[in-house]
Amino acid sequence: MSGRTGSRGIHAIQNGGNEMRMTMLKGLTAATLLAGTALAAHAETYQINVGWAPTHIITKNAYTDFAESVKKASGGNLTFEVFTGGSLLSTKDTLGGVANGVAVAGMVTGAYLPADLPLDNTGADMAFVADNPIAAAFAWTELNFVNQKLQDEWKKNGVVFGGGYSTPVYNFICTSEVKSADDIKGKKVRTAGAAHVRFAEFLEAVPVSVSFAEVYTGLQRGSLDCAMADPTALVSGFKIAEVAKYITMLPMGTHFSGASWVYNPDFWKSISADDRRLLFDQMALAQAHMQIDYNAQVAENLKGGEAQGVKIVEPDASLKGKLAEFKDSYVATLPKVEMESRKVEDPTDIIQGYVELEAKWKKLLEGVDNTDAEALAGLLKKEVFDKLDAGTYGVN
């Protein structure tokens, strides 16, 4: 684990702290290691990592603001130093990096790790039918805590699951206008997961799997024609309104693969049950703020995008019809598709579990102010985090 030592090196404390060894994530360069050890840090300061840019909603709410809130709530007992944008670990390297102690916590995008997280990706494929991002985020969080198969998969990868997220609803953001089913045929489309790949193929488009960090240049240079993305990518996130001037408001689900936080198990066991409970509370609050910010930034980005010349396009009946046709068979055929494509055992319990929890959360959220972080966090705590045993979860 990354221990409570006086340096920011990557240490594992063994034999009661008498013997220390350096643990490195395979593939990290010497330059990255030197950068990680060059900056002095205080005792009890821990490294946490998110691969997204400092301006990203997940970075801000689940890492920068979260770290400040944890420090304040713990009276300085838990202090996190936040690394963003790949300065410590790339998005793809975060899962292994946290498991190996390069960071004590990090954000994992499961879609980038299908071989390591096949069941996570199976559940995440249900995001395509989601239409309420807050319900999706809270349902995904709860499912990962209560489904033993998902818990075992996180454990197999050497981490402790801490909470989920959901993006807003995805649309097409393109360099030319896409209004009809014919308009999207042959277009090179950046996809965010297996469900989006299947839908793109169903539309006779060409799915392209690249990191979202590559989308701006892809659209700019023509290696991409469109991106399946939520509207926050237009202005406040990746600023692709500068290179793509059309957004087609076809609701293609959300995205919630992976976790907002996974923790190094040695770190998790080393802190007290009270500190773990504090992290549960702060993760609930951070998730609430994150989903609220996502919703607010959708409206802001659509307005900001229009100011930069982006045209908001309503899909015609042919494109809407294709989406409805695809969704009709999607859930029913998903278990078989996942077993064949991901080589997993029957995942019906994961798929059905998500369907049931999403319905539960939609009902629970009725009448709740979706701009009130305390109300949303309180509900998430009551239904999920307060039911976790801080003395045993992730420890036994």
H runs (alpha helix) in the chain: 30-38, 57-59, 65-73, 94-99, 118-124, 133-146, 148-156, 181-184, 194-202, 215-221, 265-270, 273-307, 317-342, 348-364, 373-383
pLDDT in the model for residue 192 = 78
The answer on 358 and 278 residing in a single domain is yes
The answer on 183 and 72 residing in a single domain is no
pLDDT in the model for residue 10 = 33
The answer on 132 and 235 residing in a single domain is no
The answer on 368 and 219 residing in a single domain is no
C-alpha 216 chain-centroid distance: 20
The answer on 145 and 77 residing in a single domain is yes
Compute the distance between CA of residue 118 and CA of residue 239 in angstroms, rounded to an integer. Answer: 31
Name the pTM for this structure. 0.81
315 part of a folded domain: yes
The answer on 275 and 150 residing in a single domain is yes
6 part of a folded domain: no
341 part of a folded domain: no
336 part of a folded domain: no
Compute the distance between CA of residue 335 and CA of residue 169 in angstroms, rounded to an integer. Answer: 23
The answer on 230 and 177 residing in a single domain is yes
The answer on 120 and 70 residing in a single domain is yes
Work out how many domains the chain is built from and give that number: 2
Low-confidence ranges of the chain (pLDDT < 50): 1-43
The answer on 197 and 208 residing in a single domain is yes
The answer on 182 and 94 residing in a single domain is no
CATH of the domain at 20: 3.40.190.170
339 part of a folded domain: no
The answer on 186 and 128 residing in a single domain is no
Q: What is the pLDDT of residues 194-227, one digit of tens each?
A: 888 999 999 999 999 888 889 999 999 999 999 9
pLDDT in the model for residue 381 = 98
Token couple for 90: 């790339």
**Phi, psi (5° rounding) for residue 259?**
-155, 145
**Phi, psi (5° rounding) for residue 146?**
-100, -20
Confirm if 2 and 10 have CB atoms less than 8 A apart.
Answer: yes
110 part of a folded domain: yes
107 part of a folded domain: yes
CATH of the domain at 319: 3.40.190.10
Tell me the residue range of the domain where 130 lies.
11-166+255-298+351-387
Compute the distance between CA of residue 199 and CA of residue 187 in angstroms, rounded to an integer. Answer: 13
Compute the distance between CA of residue 318 and CA of residue 328 in angstroms, rounded to an integer. Answer: 15
The answer on 128 and 83 residing in a single domain is yes
323 part of a folded domain: yes
pLDDT in the model for residue 76 = 95
Confirm if 193 and 113 have CB atoms less than 8 A apart.
Answer: no
